[in-house]
Chains A and B, each alone.
Chain A
Amino acid sequence: MTISDIVTVLDATLVSGQEFMAREVHSACGADMMSDVLAFVKDQSVLLTGLCNAQVIRTAEMMDMICIVFVRGKNPDKTMIELANARRIVLLTTEHRMFTACGLLYEHGLRGGAVT
């Protein structure tokens, strides 16, 4: 699945990172607790979250994630967008709730990453 496919599946809006839309993603992680995200180490390329602050971008950066989806219509602010741009991380926002957003991506073949 590409980031572009995620936009279609989640009826998402692109906030920033247009140039990376063709990137392939292999697994995803849905969480509001950033330390839980940091407890996973393998190949998580997409983060779905209802949390909307700069530490979400930092966490994705530390985990080498390439795309963040903000659920329930949350919109990142200018500082977050600048940080994401500098780290080449795509930001998307969807009106779907967390459970539905994760379910839709799962249904289309995206899975969770390994937990080691």
Chain B
Amino acid sequence: MSEVLRLQYHISNSDFTRAGEASSDVKRKLKQMGVDPKVVRRVAIAMYEGEINMVIHAEGGQIEVIINKSEIKMILSDNGPGIPDIDKAMEEGYSTAPDNIRTLGFGAGMGLPNMKKYSDSLKIDTKIGVGTKVTMVVKM
């Protein structure tokens, strides 16, 4: 599968207002490449939720986006606390986000369910105290 483009982003933990810049950039680039708008939106939403999660739970991390002709792969890696119970975390409405995050409009327990909903595959590798790697694929 020939790779068309590979993008890398460092997600900073310092400023919540900047969260979403990487997703915004990916969205713009995919649009410019003429990717189907429905695919672009699914990628944008899934990645944005992931990006927000990294800021809320893991103090930032790295995102790599690999675009090829048939699919878009997003790899989100952080050095955060890890997810103790993935099944629980996947439940709609379950959240461990602190209250200050709720006042910002997030922390409703919809992040991972939304990521699953908008991607064709979602894989979570997590280790307590080491970090979490989320791999999402959206097919063209």
- Among B1-40, those with CB < 8 Å from A are 16-20, 23-24, 27, 37
Quick check: is B130 within 8 A (CB to CB) of the other chain? no
- Whether A38 pairs with B105 at a CB distance below 8 angstroms is no
Complex contacts, A41 vs chain B, CB 8 Å: 41-42, 45, 118
Given A58-B48, A62-B44, A38:B110 Cβ within 8 A: yes
The verdict on A59 contacting chain B, using a C-beta distance below 8 Å, is: yes
Contact yes or no, A58 B19, CB < 8 A: yes
Partner of A62, one of B18, B23, B107, B117: B23
Residues of chain A having any CB pair with chain B under 8 Å: 32-36, 38-39, 41, 49, 51, 53-56, 58-59, 61-64, 79, 87
Say whether B78 faces chain A, with CB atoms less than 8 Å apart.
no
Task: Tell me whether B23 and A55 are in contact (CB under 8 A).
Answer: no
Interface of A, secondary structure class, is: helix
Tell which of B19, B108, B118 has the most Cβ of chain A within 10 Å: B108
Contact surface of B with A, Cβ cutoff 8 Å: 16-20, 23-24, 27, 37, 41-42, 44-45, 48-49, 52, 104-111, 113-114, 117-118
Q: How far is the CA of A87 from the CA of B20 in the complex (A)?
A: 13
Given contacts A63-B41, A64-B37, 5 further A-B contacts (CB under 8 A): A36-B108, A41-B41, A49-B105, A54-B17, A63-B45
In the docked arrangement, what's the CA distance between A103 and B113, Å? 29
CB contacts (< 8 Å) of B18 on chain A: these are: 54
Chain B's closest residue to A80 (CB) is B17
**In whole angstroms, how far apart are the Cα atoms of A72 and B105 in the complex?**
17
**Least CB separation from B17: chain A residue:** A54
Q: Is the CB of A34 within 8 A of B106?
A: yes
B105 with A55: CB separation less than 8 A = yes
| Inter-chain contact A64/B105, CB cutoff 8 Å | no
22 residue pairs from A and B, CB less than 8 Å apart: A33-B108, A35-B49, A35-B105, A35-B110, A35-B111, A38-B48, A38-B114, A39-B110, A39-B113, A39-B117, A53-B17, A53-B105, A54-B17, A54-B18, A55-B105, A56-B105, A61-B20, A62-B41, A62-B45, A62-B48, A63-B45, A79-B17
A107 to chain B, nearest CB (A): 27
Which of A39, A58, A61, A79 has the largest number of chain B CB atoms within 10 A?
A58
Contact assessment for B110 and A64 in the assembled complex, using a CB-CB cutoff below 8 Å: no
Q: Using Cβ atoms and an 8 Å threshold, which residues of chain B touch A56?
A: 105
